[in-house]
Amino acid sequence: MNLIFEFINQNLQMIYILILMIFVGVEIIGHVPAVLHTPLMSGANALSGVVIIGAILVMLDTEPDNIIALSFGFVAVVLGILNVVGGFVVTDRMLEMFKKKK
C-alpha cells in the first residue's frame, strides 16, 4: 500500500496528465462523423509513432560501443519514423480526396 502511495506521489504530475488526456481524447473524438473514421484512425495511428522520441532518446543515451542496444535502437527509430511519416502521408492522401468534393 505504501508503495502505491509513494508511486503516486513521485509521479503526480504525470498522473495528472494521464487522467486529463484521457478525457481530452474522449471529448475530442466523441462525435466524429463516420465519414472521417478512417482518416481519424490513420491520423491517430501516425501520432502513436510518437514513440520514436523514446527510440531517439535511447540511442542518444547509448554508448557507441554497445552494439546490441545501438542496433535495437536503430530498428526502433526506423520503425517509429515509418509509422509517423507513412501515417501522416497516407492520411493526407485520403483527406485530399475528400476535399475535391466541391
Partner 1 sequence: MGESLGLIYLISTVSYIIGLKFLGHPKTARKGNIISASGMAIAILGTIFLYDKEVATSIYLFIWLAIIIGSIAGWIIAKKVEMTKMPELVSMFNGMGGASAALIGLIEFQKNVGNITASTTIVISIIIGSISLSGSLIAWAKLNGILWKDIRIPRYNLINNLLILGVLVFGFFIIWSGTESNTLIYLMFFLALFYGILFVIPIGGADMPVVISLLNSLTGIAAAFTGFLFHNMVMLAGGILVGSAGFILTFAMCHAMNRPLAHVIFGVFGQDNNDLAVIPSAKNKRGIVKKITPSDAAILMNYSQKVIIVPGYGLAVAQAQHIIHEIEVFLTNKGIDVKYAIHPVAGRMPGHMNVLLAETHVEYDKLVEMEHINSEFQSTDVVLVVGANDVVNPAAHNAPSSPIYGMPILKVENAKHIIVNKRSMKPGYAGIENELFYNQKTSMLFGDAKSALTKLLHELKSM
Task: Please say whether the beta carbons of 55 and 73 come within 8 A.
Answer: yes
Q: Within positions 26 to 55, which residues make up the interface with partner 1, using CB under 8 A?
A: 26, 28-55
Give the x/- contact pattern for partner 1 in 51-80, rule: CB under 8 A: xxxxxxxxxxxx-x----xx-xxxxxxxxx
List Cα–Cα distances, 46 to 18, 33, 56, 70, 82, in angstroms.
20, 20, 17, 24, 9
Count the neighbouring beta carbons within 10 Å of the beta carbon of residue 26. 9
Give residue for cell 471529448: 27
9 binds partner 1 (CB under 8 A): no
Q: Please state the closest distance from residue 57 (CB atom) to partner 1, in A.
A: 6
Q: Which of 3, 5, 9, 12 binds partner 1 (CB under 8 A)?
A: 3
101 binds partner 1 (CB under 8 A): yes
